[in-house]
Amino acid sequence: MTHAVKPRRKGRSPFVKWAADTGWRHVVAIAALVFGLIPIIYVISAAFNPNGTLSSTSLLPTGFSLNNFQRLFTDDNVPFAAWFANSLMIAVPAAFISIFISSLAAYAFSRFRFKGRRPMLLFLLLIQMFPAFLAVVALYLIFGSIGEFYPVAGLNTKLGLMLVYMGGALGVSTWLMKGFFDTIPKELDEAATIDGASHAQIFFGMILPLAAPIIAISGILAFVGTMNDFILASLFLTDRPEMTLAVGLKTLTADNSPASYFGIFAAGTLLTSVLTVGVFMSLQRYIVSGLTGGAVKG
């Protein structure tokens, strides 16, 4: 077989051979990169554009100024620092708590055998197919009446929004973590039990540290998902200084906002992405394995 192929290859010039073998791969990759990077380059160009208007922005920067960044923090109508802080204040605790709650449930599903275990697992998969915002009307009414009794957690409060995000704690991440917990040998639990460890000690002292990578990934996905949420946040937070980044930045591109806000918006986008891109890049390897690990477990 190999003999039949060899003579044919010898006849080609080295360039054709390279092109057929690796060259096209670079062409495809570069084409995809061009498509992928143009909007990002555009944002960078807009953020450093001295005028800040859409009409004066082109793909490649024509000037350089930090004007937009400066206005981002000084313009009274653009409380960017407050938005940024709000987003973090909501997304970080919501991600932490929901991942903690989710890992508790994953431990129960992985290590205990009880009645209703399988149906409940399937139910979790089904309910996560219904994104929380499909029930926006109901959530709106629920939090309207919660607010009557507990103003701290009603509409237009961070706590209320966090509660909604945490309501979705059990879901995909529970499955991901359960899959990972399953790969931790049960013999370890048994050994620990014989040594006198309680179930809580096994979970907090052994399983959680061993499962750190998957917990990190789930936490980051939850964090980024919360940061990107628009519909619930726009419904809950209507006061300008209370908004999250998603809701606040959207107002900058609204039809009735000044044209020069586009540059400010781009600068804000850039600052927001420093956070998310940094997180993604530092954990690139885990993300690839985490996503496909979930695929196999499905």
d(CA 90, CA 93): 6
Burial class (CB in 10 A: 0-12, 13-18, 19+), 208: middle
Q: Binding string, 200-219, against another protein, x = CB under 8 A? A: xx-x----------------
Please list the alpha-helical segments (H only) found in the chain.
2-10, 14-18, 24-47, 67-74, 80-111, 117-127, 136-149, 158-167, 172-182, 186-194, 199-202, 208-210, 212-228, 231-236, 245-252, 261-282, 284-297
Q: Which of 95, 170, 176, 221 binds another protein (CB under 8 A)?
A: 170
Q: Does 29 bind another protein (CB under 8 A)?
A: yes
Rounded CA Rg of the chain: 25
**Between 70 and 282, CB nearer to another protein:** 282
Nearer to another protein, 214 or 235 (CB): 235
219 neighbors 98 (Cβ within 8 angstroms): no
For residues 112-151, which are near another protein according to CB under 8 A?
112, 114, 122, 125-127, 129-142, 144, 147-150
Query: Is residue 289 near another protein by the rule CB under 8 A?
Result: yes
Only one of the segments 38-46, 62-70, 76-84, 178-186 lies at the binding site for another protein (rule: CB under 8 A); that segment is: 38-46
CB count in 10 Å sphere of residue 211: 21
Q: Which of 70, 89, 238, 258 forms a contact with another protein (CB under 8 A)?
A: 238
Q: Does residue number 188 form part of the binding site for another protein (CB under 8 A)?
A: no
Q: Considering only residues 257 through 276, tell me which ones interact with another protein, judged by CB under 8 A.
A: 262, 265-266, 268-269, 272-273, 276
